[in-house]
Amino acid sequence: MASRRYHWLLFLGLDGLSTACFLWAVCHVAGGRWFWPLALPLTAAVTALLLLLVYLFRRPWGRDPLVRTALILLAAGLLVMSAELAIDLFRFGRVSFGWAPYALIPCWVLSAVAALISRQNKLRAEIEKRLFY
pLDDT in tens, 74-133: 999 999 999 999 999 999 999 999 999 999 999 999 999 999 999 999 998 998 888 876
Q: For 80-95, how does the pLDDT look when each residue is reduced to its tens digit (9 = 90+)?
A: 999 999 999 999 999 9
Instruction: Tell me, yes or no, whether 43 and 83 share the same domain.
Output: no
The per-residue DSSP string of the chain comes to -HHHHS-HHHHHHHHHHHHHHHHHHHHHHHT-S-IIIIIHHHHHHHHHHHHHHHHHHTSGGGGSHHHHHHHHHHHHHHHHHHHHHHHHHHHTSS----SHHHHHHHHHHHHHHHHHHHH-HHHHHHHHHHH--
Same domain membership, residue 48 and residue 86 = no
| 15 and 54 housed in the same domain | yes
pTM of the predicted model as reported, rounded to 2 decimal places: 0.86
39 shares its domain with 91? no
Q: Tell which of 58, 77, 92 closes a domain.
A: 58
